Chains A and B, each alone.
Chain A
Amino acid sequence: MHPRYTDVPHAAENSPYPPALVLGNGLCGAIASRALLDLGLSVTLVRTSRISSALFCSAPLFDSEHYYHQLLSAKDKDLEILDVAEHPVIRREAPGLIVSLGKDKQSFFGCIIVTSQVSLRNQEKNLPAGVEQMGTGAFSGQAERIVFILDYLHRSDPAVGMAAIKKAIDNQMEGGHSFVLFQHAPVTHIFGESLYERARRAGVQFVRFGAELPSVRKKEENSGTPLKFAVTVRDSIEMGEQLVVDCNRVVVVSSPDGSSIPNWALDFAAHDVDDEGFLLSESIHCHSGRSFANGIFAVGECTGNLDLIRVIEQARSTAVRARAWMRRAAQLQNEKTVASSEECIRCLTCYRICPHSAFSLIGMQSRSTVEACASFCEQCGICVSECPRMALDLESFPEQHVSAFLTKVRQTSPPLSMVLYGCERTAARLVAKIELPPDILFFSFPCAGRISEAILWATLVSGVRGVLVLGCHHDNCASDSGTDWARVRVETVLEKLASPGSIPIQLKYATVSAKEPARFRGIVEQFANSLRDGAGVKPAER
């Protein structure tokens, strides 16, 4: 437990772990909290508004509101629920995070699990007024003629899509009439198919539309019928037949919209978002729920387009990872991973670029110094390579390792034809499986991000004919951007090499995964051939 803060929420009895903070108003936050409590941790659940209503759009599938209260109602002394008006502010402090929860109240937490509300893409602007969006309106439970439109403009969310089908069944059972228009039926778990079976037996009418979207027309007010809408759809299966369905409600299901994630959630998740705007740009190596920014986890629909069972599984799985992470963080608390020298000019480059947010500012704001916290650090060495003053060094992989290797390269006789640089989790594993010719030497780095421009230049003048830098595939780097840093540096060096008077040497960057021995062999052979043919007078093609 952190010694410096007195108002720490009490940790679970006999638990060596600091408490965890779960942030969110919805079901997912409740499941994650329950899972952490069950794992023997103490939890503070922070809610920033009343219980989210959008969350309960899955309500037709089961009584989620009841489930929510059941999860949190247990008289649990390890659970604290805080409803706050203002969004909390976080600060990193080894081995966890300090969160200000209201005035003068700061608490220390071992990790933060962010679950945020995410809304579905708003389709109403494309449709006449009165068309509803699944999830936003309550269902009255009266027998009605309802048309559900799935996949309108965007692929529907699987959880909400299945909830819509369940609602269609309920409406049919109550004596109403339900139509489901769709492009792709969501059956993303093993119970999926049986839901359709039930729907068909209940008399729900399914119509699959093709490229032509259904059109919704509002009927005139005083046409003497309670049916407000006419939906026209072309059935892509039954001979392209055109159907017109009159109904009194139209409900559209669309996909979750990454850009609807509120700013506070983005702040909490260290702005770690994927290409579609959802939380976590996680790579394969991060395992579920973990952010590159260590200590931060995110679960639920805000991390992508998921079905309900996956959300539940992900929340629990993340809880077990969070526990493991806190355990490791506590163990590493007093270790040192990155050494900094007198050369440091406090430019804060390392603080800015670290993918794991391992650096914290120490001292006054005008003259802060940085310190890497071992609890967060993954020892990728990106900071070491990018430091403009070369003031940093990894404890586990010091500069001497590299210079010793370069000395060996220079002294090898006859000279080596090629030096191969790569990451220990991909290239090194491939090299272990394949025998390299004696004139090629491999050197393994903790991450391709550690291969600095200085190392590339030093290698280029060491007497070898070619240097091949092997990174992981884009988006597969365990340190998020390590492989991209390596690519940029190789490109920078090549640009300078291409100028007149450049030295006769070849340099190339390629990507490979640990599972691609054939691709690896191909890349190495191709490069070796180009060394032989080109006699090294021009830089390798980009």
Chain B
Amino acid sequence: MNKPVVIVGGGIAGLTVSHALCENGFPSVVVEKSNHVGGRVRDWACMATHRCLRCFCCAVEDLAHDVTTALSVDIILGSELSGVIRCGQSLEQVRVKSLASGHEKLLDASALVIATGFEPYNPKEKLLLGYGRFEGVFTLIDVDTFLREDKLFRFTSGIQEPLRVAFFQCVGSRDKTIGADYCSQYCCKGALRMALRLLENNSDWEITVFYIDLQIAGKLAGWLLSEAKERGIRLVQGVPGEIVEVADEMLQVTREDNGSNIREEFHRVILSIGQRPPSAASRIASLCGVHLDDFGFLAPTSFFDTSRTNVAGVYVAGTCSGPKDIENTITHAGQTAAAIITDLKNEPRV
């Protein structure tokens, strides 16, 4: 039997690569540092209202089921990549280390896929937004967790309904001052879905979305926008830079409109935090010899080939090579599988 493809990261990207390889008859090994597969998407709540809103988070359930039951896929949990062994140009083996015991083991590898995902931006860096200081400021991920655990009362507690909620887009994205001069791709659609999801059970809430530019493309894009307008979601261009707590724990924001300042008060503010490079990016880059891009993501070779890297036999999949939403991560990971099969060429005969 031929050597397997080693995939570092068992999130949606890693699972998609593994699944696509498996479907095509190629063995793989998934190395995951936590004790379960599924990554961040596993913890993401379903956004369905009276219909599916195509957030793609349930795809991880299908993938995790198919991959964990597949005979040609091995899964190594609680471990991370600790070395790459090459013979000349070609990849021979990789070393993985168990995080619990520190024990290292060698795996034969025909190719190496880096799919370590992203790191969410820490909004505490934006002091003026008061995350962590004001009780009414949350991130999109916080609210998502409440939804998943059915603890939305932690979001609404102590407030007389109806709630006035504001979404702040591009927190930690499209921001030169923190070296994140790129769009995080997932948050516009994510915030609109979340707004619709919240309105599903609380139709009297007043929701405002402050944005720089709405980046909504792909299937259901037009529907999302028109549904948002129909459900009375207010879309306002320009994201306020500061939140001030005023009387009754209300959060006051100031925005500019046609040259004059307008003050508005909200009960709750939800920050749509951006995607930053994975914390392991520089370590992995130096282990494999892969270049990093200007922002610290693992750099693919070119505009036209976003799966291969500057090192032969090493590929990237998903958000470790640049921000993406779930749907685009699945597409990108599919392309990575295509690149690997192309390079390995001949299907191994089992």
A residues whose Cβ falls under 8 Å from a Cβ of B = 14, 35, 38-40, 62, 67, 155, 157-158, 183-194, 197, 208, 210, 236-240, 255, 274-276, 278, 280, 282-285, 287-288, 303-307, 309-310, 312-314, 316-321, 323-324, 327-328, 425-426, 429, 472-476, 511, 513-516, 518-519, 521-522
> Is B192 positioned at the interface, with any CB of A under 8 Å from its CB?
no
Determine if A317 and B59 form an interchain contact, defined as CB atoms under 8 angstroms apart. Answer: no
Residues of B234-269 whose CB lies within 8 A of A? 237-238, 258-259
Given contact pairs A35-B338, A188-B185, A473-B51, A518 touches B259 in the complex (Cβ within 8 A)? no
B residues whose Cβ falls under 8 Å from a Cβ of A = 20, 23-25, 44-46, 48, 50-52, 54, 56-59, 61-62, 65, 148-150, 174, 181-183, 185, 212-223, 225, 237-238, 258-259, 293, 295, 297, 303-304, 306, 322-323, 327-328, 330-335, 337-339, 341-342, 345-347
Determine if B20 and A187 form an interchain contact, defined as CB atoms under 8 angstroms apart. Answer: no
Determine if B24 and A327 form an interchain contact, defined as CB atoms under 8 angstroms apart. Answer: yes
- Smallest CB–CB gap between A432 and chain B, Å? 11
Determine if A313 and B332 form an interchain contact, defined as CB atoms under 8 angstroms apart. Answer: yes
- Smallest CB–CB gap between A238 and chain B, Å? 8
User: Which B residue sits closest to A312, measured CB to CB?
Assistant: B304
Which 4 pairs show the lowest CB-CB distances between chains A and B?
A317-B334, A518-B150, A324-B23, A476-B52
Main secondary structure of the interface of A (DSSP, over half): loop
The 5 sampled A-B contact pairs (Cβ below 8 Å) are: A240-B258, A284-B58, A473-B46, A476-B58, A516-B48
Determine if B222 and A155 form an interchain contact, defined as CB atoms under 8 angstroms apart. Answer: yes
Determine if A309 and B213 form an interchain contact, defined as CB atoms under 8 angstroms apart. Answer: no
CB contact between A305 and one of B48, B58, B174, B218 (< 8 Å): that residue: B218
Determine if A323 and B24 form an interchain contact, defined as CB atoms under 8 angstroms apart. Answer: yes
Given contact pairs A40-B345, A320-B334, A474-B51, A305 touches B217 in the complex (Cβ within 8 A)? yes
Determine if B338 and A307 form an interchain contact, defined as CB atoms under 8 angstroms apart. Answer: no
C-alpha spacing A132/B37, complex, angstroms: 51
CB contact between A304 and one of B24, B181, B219 (< 8 Å): that residue: B219
CB contact between A192 and one of B54, B58, B182 (< 8 Å): that residue: B182
User: Which A residue sits closest to B216, measured CB to CB?
Assistant: A155
Determine if A316 and B339 form an interchain contact, defined as CB atoms under 8 angstroms apart. Answer: yes
Determine if B213 and A187 form an interchain contact, defined as CB atoms under 8 angstroms apart. Answer: yes
Which of B222, B223, B293 is most buried by chain A, counting CB atoms within 10 A of its CB? B222
Contact partners of B220 in chain A: CB under 8 A: 274-276
C-alpha spacing A273/B253, complex, angstroms: 43
CB contact between B338 and one of A62, A187, A310, A317 (< 8 Å): that residue: A317
CB contact between A473 and one of B48, B148, B212, B339 (< 8 Å): that residue: B48
Determine if A306 and B54 form an interchain contact, defined as CB atoms under 8 angstroms apart. Answer: no
Determine if B342 and A317 form an interchain contact, defined as CB atoms under 8 angstroms apart. Answer: no
Given contact pairs A327-B23, A429-B61, A474 touches B221 in the complex (Cβ within 8 A)? no
CB contact between A314 and one of B213, B225, B331 (< 8 Å): that residue: B331
C-alpha spacing A197/B174, complex, angstroms: 12
Determine if B219 and A278 form an interchain contact, defined as CB atoms under 8 angstroms apart. Answer: yes
User: Which B residue sits closest to A513, measured CB to CB?
Assistant: B46
Given contact pairs A187-B174, A188-B215, A283-B52, A39 touches B334 in the complex (Cβ within 8 A)? no
CB contact between A187 and one of B23, B45, B183, B341 (< 8 Å): that residue: B183
Q: A187-B174, A239-B258 are in contact. List 10 more A-B contacts (CB 8 A).
A: A38-B342, A155-B221, A187-B183, A193-B181, A274-B220, A306-B218, A317-B337, A321-B334, A474-B52, A518-B149
C-alpha spacing A191/B182, complex, angstroms: 7
C-alpha spacing A189/B327, complex, angstroms: 14
Determine if A288 and B217 form an interchain contact, defined as CB atoms under 8 angstroms apart. Answer: no
Determine if B54 and A313 form an interchain contact, defined as CB atoms under 8 angstroms apart. Answer: no
CB contact between B219 and one of A303, A327, A474 (< 8 Å): that residue: A303
Determine if A475 and B217 form an interchain contact, defined as CB atoms under 8 angstroms apart. Answer: no
CB contact between A515 and one of B61, B218, B330 (< 8 Å): that residue: B61
C-alpha spacing A67/B305, complex, angstroms: 13
- Smallest CB–CB gap between A512 and chain B, Å? 8
Determine if A476 and B48 form an interchain contact, defined as CB atoms under 8 angstroms apart. Answer: yes
Determine if A193 and B183 form an interchain contact, defined as CB atoms under 8 angstroms apart. Answer: yes
C-alpha spacing A194/B148, complex, angstroms: 37
Given contact pairs A187-B215, A284-B56, A303-B219, A522 touches B150 in the complex (Cβ within 8 A)? yes
Given contact pairs A511-B48, A515-B45, A425 touches B62 in the complex (Cβ within 8 A)? yes
Determine if A288 and B259 form an interchain contact, defined as CB atoms under 8 angstroms apart. Answer: no
Contact partners of B342 in chain A: CB under 8 A: 35, 38-39
Determine if A310 and B328 form an interchain contact, defined as CB atoms under 8 angstroms apart. Answer: yes
Contact partners of A522 in chain B: CB under 8 A: 150
CB contact between A316 and one of B223, B225, B334 (< 8 Å): that residue: B334
C-alpha spacing A292/B23, complex, angstroms: 18
User: Which A residue sits closest to B340, measured CB to CB?
Assistant: A320
CB contact between A276 and one of B222, B303, B335 (< 8 Å): that residue: B222
- Smallest CB–CB gap between A275 and chain B, Å? 6
CB contact between B341 and one of A39, A304, A425, A515 (< 8 Å): that residue: A39
CB contact between B217 and one of A158, A194, A518 (< 8 Å): that residue: A158
Which of B24, B65, B216 is most buried by chain A, counting CB atoms within 10 A of its CB? B24
Which of B46, B297, B346 is most buried by chain A, counting CB atoms within 10 A of its CB? B46
Which of B148, B212, B337 is most buried by chain A, counting CB atoms within 10 A of its CB? B337
Given contact pairs A288-B330, A316-B334, A515 touches B57 in the complex (Cβ within 8 A)? yes
- Smallest CB–CB gap between A13 and chain B, Å? 11
C-alpha spacing A238/B202, complex, angstroms: 37
User: Which A residue sits closest to B326, measured CB to CB?
Assistant: A284
Determine if A513 and B48 form an interchain contact, defined as CB atoms under 8 angstroms apart. Answer: yes
C-alpha spacing A499/B239, complex, angstroms: 57
Which of A188, A208, A255, A318 is most buried by chain B, counting CB atoms within 10 A of its CB? A188
C-alpha spacing A189/B184, complex, angstroms: 8
Contact partners of A312 in chain B: CB under 8 A: 304, 306, 335
User: Which A residue sits closest to B294, measured CB to CB?
Assistant: A194
CB contact between B20 and one of A280, A282, A320, A521 (< 8 Å): that residue: A320
Given contact pairs A305-B221, A317-B331, A186 touches B237 in the complex (Cβ within 8 A)? no
Contact partners of B181 in chain A: CB under 8 A: 193-194, 197
Contact partners of A40 in chain B: CB under 8 A: 341, 345-347
Contact partners of A155 in chain B: CB under 8 A: 216, 221-222, 225
- Smallest CB–CB gap between A479 and chain B, Å? 13
C-alpha spacing A295/B297, complex, angstroms: 36
User: Which B residue sits closest to A210, measured CB to CB?
Assistant: B237
Contact partners of B51 in chain A: CB under 8 A: 473-476
C-alpha spacing A257/B149, complex, angstroms: 40
Determine if A38 and B48 form an interchain contact, defined as CB atoms under 8 angstroms apart. Answer: no
Given contact pairs A189-B322, A320-B338, A514 touches B219 in the complex (Cβ within 8 A)? no
C-alpha spacing A107/B185, complex, angstroms: 42
C-alpha spacing A183/B237, complex, angstroms: 9
Determine if B237 and A190 form an interchain contact, defined as CB atoms under 8 angstroms apart. Answer: no
CB contact between A307 and one of B61, B213, B217, B297 (< 8 Å): that residue: B217
C-alpha spacing A522/B50, complex, angstroms: 16
User: Which B residue sits closest to A16, measured CB to CB?
Assistant: B347
